Amino acid sequence: MTNNLNRELRVIAQGLSGEHMEDWPPIPCPTCTRGVLLPDPDSFVSEESATSRALVNHEGWEPEWIQGGFHGVLTCRKETCDRVRVIGEMSVDGSSRPGEQYETYWTPTLFLPALPLLENRELCPPEVGVRVDAAAKILWLDPSAAANRIRAAVEALMDDRGVIRQQLNSKGKVVRLDLDRRITIFKKALPQHAKAADLLLAVKWIGNVGSHEDVLRVPDVLEGVEFLDHALSQIYGASPDDVQKRAAEVTARRGRPQTFSVEVPF
């Protein structure tokens, strides 16, 4: 179920090698959304923190105690795309590479401009896209807050589909409907999108956790993003019936384009 973009973002969240940039996973370009960002080696700076340096004389010191930060510049293969700044945390851990005992790892906490999150971004209604873009800006620094903004994107999606926000209760008082109730209404009104509604409900739960607890990490939020991405594809993308209809039309035209004409064009 994992799409390519989401899979790449998950790998990036595991950390980037400070010594082996050639092994970095594809980093999606936020400008063209189709290109891959490459590190400019000369721009990268990694620095151990003063607190970390102060521990070097401790009798129990190990290289894994080294911590600090890094920053650098990423460029797309497409020269017209914006350069991307990346900032993050530096640490040292054991290496799985033959002949190397330790390796430096860089964990990003900010990309500027933010990396894209959705493969189906073009299918987003404007207000849904605005909320997803807001989540992208803070995903690496504050995953729980990003999850809350992805939840807000589901609220915006319900607005776009015309799902009510308020109704009268048994006492005749206007009450606000929670997102759970709105998704239920959406599922009943449009049963053809029942599977998409189930995906959106899972996004809602992840967003709820992000609102009340600081326990989410980047991969947790990316799971919710993946669910939202698939829901967008199911709701706004071409349905199987649409594809079948277009295929029948092509067969009826015997493959000729719709603009085909036997008339002399002058």
Q: Domain-by-domain residue ranges, the chain?
A: 1-116, 119-238
Q: What confidence category does residue 168 fall into, taking pLDDT thresholds of 50, 70 and 90?
A: confident
What is the per-residue pLDDT for 266?
Answer: 45
Q: What confidence category does residue 96 fall into, taking pLDDT thresholds of 50, 70 and 90?
A: confident
Strands (E), the chain: 16-17, 27-28, 36-39, 45-48, 67-76, 84-94, 102-112, 166-168, 174-176
What are the beta bridge partners of residue 92? 104
Summarize the confidence of residues 1-25 as an average pLDDT.
90
Phi, psi of 115 (to 5 degrees): -75, 150
Computed over every residue of the chain, the mean pLDDT equals 91
Q: Is-contact 180 145, C-beta < 8 A?
A: no
Q: What confidence category does residue 1 fall into, taking pLDDT thresholds of 50, 70 and 90?
A: very low
How far apart, in whole angstroms, are the C-alpha atoms of residue 136 and residue 134? 5
How far apart, in whole angstroms, are the C-alpha atoms of residue 149 and residue 146? 5
Summarize the confidence of residues 102-113 as an average pLDDT.
96
Handedness of CA 104, 108, 113, 114 (dihedral sign): positive
The radius of gyration of the chain's CA atoms, rounded to the nearest angstrom, is 24
Summarize the confidence of residues 173-202 as an average pLDDT.
95
Query: Is residue 183 packed enough to be buried (19+ CB in 10 Å), middle (13-18) or exposed (0-12)?
Result: buried
What are 205-263's pLDDT values in tens digits? Answer: 999 999 888 899 999 999 999 999 999 999 998 766 676 777 788 788 777 777 654 45
Stated pTM of the model: 0.86
